Amino acid sequence: MKLGIDIGGTFTDLVLLDEGSGRMVLGKTLTTYPDPLQGILNGVEQIMHDSGVSLHSIGVIVHGTTLVTNAVIERKGARTALLTTAGFEDVLEIGREMRYDIYDLFLTMPKPLVPRSLRIGLRQRMDKNGRVLTPLDLTEVEQVADRLVRRGVQSVAVSFLHAFANPEHEQAVGDLLRRKYPYVAVSLSSEVLPEIREYERTSATAMNAYVQPLTQDYLRRLRRALTERGFQGEIYIMNSAGRLTTLEGAQRFPIQLLESGPAGGTMAGVFFQRQLTAAGNDVSQLLAFDMGGTTAKASMVRQGQPEITHHFEAARERRFKKGSGLPVRIPVIDMIEIGAGGGSIARLDALGLLTVGPDSAASQPGPACYGRGGQWPTVTDADLVLGFLNEHYFLGGTMPLRRDLAEEAIEKHIARPLGIRVEEAAWGIHRVVNENMANAARVHILEKGLDPRPFTMMAFGGAGPVHAFAVARLLGLSRLIVPGGAGVLSALGFLVSPIATEAIFSHVSRLDRMDWASINSRMAEMEHRGRTFLQEAGVTANQIHVHRVAEMRYAGQGHDITVPLPSGTLSADSLPAITYNFEQEYTLRYGRVLPHMPIESVTWRIVVSGPSPQASLHQQVKGAVSQQAQKGTRPAFFGKTWLEVPVLDRYAMPAEQRFNGPCIIEEFESTTVVGPDAVVWRDSFGNLIIEMS
């Protein structure tokens, strides 16, 4: 039995899966602040009670957390020092010397995680090929370390010039610090990100060091608390690329967990796409749409694989402005994120225009309708006033909502100032948030050179099924899928993701001048380390899969693209295949190739992964099931007038029976809204399939 746990901004979601029977038990509880561990323990206690099993019988727990992201955003990490090559102490502030908004006279850049007083330059130097120019003086290192420890430093980042080419000096410093100060966390750039580009490598290493003590403490407390309650199995952590890592791996490289939670939803999309494709459905292009309590996210799954990027920024000064954050070149599922969740606050701006988000009411105090002290109207309040949500059946009736408080908040802050009715104001909130999400998803797809219209949308998250129909229609899509248990699908995604690790190294060279023997040797070494890691985690040798890619560009360019590499030993005979793959990807991105320009490599990546878990899911029915599929009607507002809309019990819907929209479909974790001119049915897997004209 496996348990998935996902901490969100408003709710903590849990999924208990019995792989043998396919039985799935779902749980949802409010996220606790300031310590999310208490919310996890509350949820575990609840789901153990609901399922009738004990923690002792659980073999694997997979966890995703926003702890690392929050620590960076809120600047609540450890007191961190940076040791670097003398003369490069200010690389974190110099950055790329680019303004993310050239017209903003009051522009603010992100502050480095390490203050200037704790950034120390040491006398040592390597050249770009890794040859020693100035030897390292370990006596100087020891003196500097003594001063830093006396100043209360808890973590040290080490990032020397050209350490990606030769890590010898960094390793010597790391050995000294770990031997003499075992209580101080140490992060080496040659271990965290052994890649060319000084600023990005140093930024990633500093961030890893900044959050490492906090992450280690949290994961140790999690392990201890679960063990005290009878858990004896393995704990895995979801990383930002939709891969699982061990507790030890997460504690060593916590930077890999920056987008831990959101990755689970995309991996659930991968699982369902493969399941539907195997059954003969055409869902080769899937748009995974995740709308929770705080944010909405959209990502693409194509041909059974998520889109992966290595260009990511944390703690942006302006949340949706590229270049305003701290760069981290780690593998991350490529997704667009906007501040549009159920808890997103609606208000009138200085011009009297309606805006929604990005700030959220979260779980404390939460939307006004929660009755926990929230005063501002939110998206959830609007959905309740419009009749889309059932005030007596939110979370299956375990969390009643207050419609009167929702109406009062919308009336006071939106309707009265605009001189309109409450339902019109609620519809405005609903439409604005839908338009925001549709615009973001459309741009995300178009930037990849793709047309959004052939995509099938899969909606999940607590608020996703409420808004997905409207967003899909705005995008021009014709089909929408809502899986069972959509409200906790990210936690389910954890349970169907593979254990994997990625190793990288930089080697800049033209392909026609490549030292293939050296490349093959380094890739073999990386592959061996990856296989060892997986076998120690319990994966057998015949289950391990190796995927190799390289980041390449035309000689002289500053940006590169990811190109798949042919299998086997690489040599000059591999050039035609590599060139073909490069030109295919370049054409997709830019619409043309430059046939007479030489191609050069920049960074080589080797992903070693185990098998994706296979499961046949059977969702547990929570609460009483209606005798008939339609359990009643209620008025819902669709923009012009109130309509008396059928309300369906998802658990009672017969497979393959068609129902016409508009209608509302209720289940324990979420509510699905189907608009006019659509047909909905439940397929043999339990998914809701919505076809739009």
Tokens of 525: 């070494």
Spans of all domains in the chain: 2-72+217-260, 73-216, 501-609
Range 56-72 average pLDDT: 87
Range 292-312 average pLDDT: 84
> 2-72+217-260: what fold?
Nucleotidyltransferase; domain 5 (3.30.420)
**Amino acid identity, residue 61?**
I
Which pLDDT belongs to residue 624? 64
pLDDT tens digits, 367-417:
899 888 888 999 999 999 999 998 888 876 778 889 999 999 999 999 999
- Is the per-residue pLDDT at 621 higher than 80? no
Cβ-contact 686, 654 below 8 angstroms: no
Question: For residue 690, what is the enclosing H or E element?
Answer: strand 688-692
Distance CA 262, CA 249 (A): 19
Q: Can you give the pTM of this predicted structure?
A: 0.85
- Helices 464-475 and 422-446, interaxial angle, to 10°? 60
Distance CA 551, CA 602 (A): 6
Which pLDDT belongs to residue 252? 93
- Is the per-residue pLDDT at 618 higher than 70? no
Give the CA diameter of the chain. Answer: 80
pLDDT tens digits, 186-207:
999 999 999 998 999 999 999 9
Question: b/e map of 418-431 (b: 16 or more CB within 10 Å)?
Answer: eeeebbebbbbbbb
**Amino acid identity, residue 224?**
R
**What does the mean pLDDT of the chain come to?**
89
Cβ-contact 141, 124 below 8 angstroms: no
Q: What sign has the CA pseudo-torsion 443, 449, 455, 458?
A: negative
Number of H helices, E strands in the chain: 17, 36
Q: Please provide the DSSP assignment of 433-449 as one string.
A: HHHHHHHHHHHHHHTTT
Using alpha carbons, list the distances in angstroms from residue 526 to 348, 519, 522, 547.
54, 11, 6, 12
**Is 73-216 CATH 1.10.3470?**
no
Question: For residue 190, what is the enclosing H or E element?
Answer: helix 189-192
Highest-scoring range by mean pLDDT, 144-148, 195-199, 298-302: 144-148
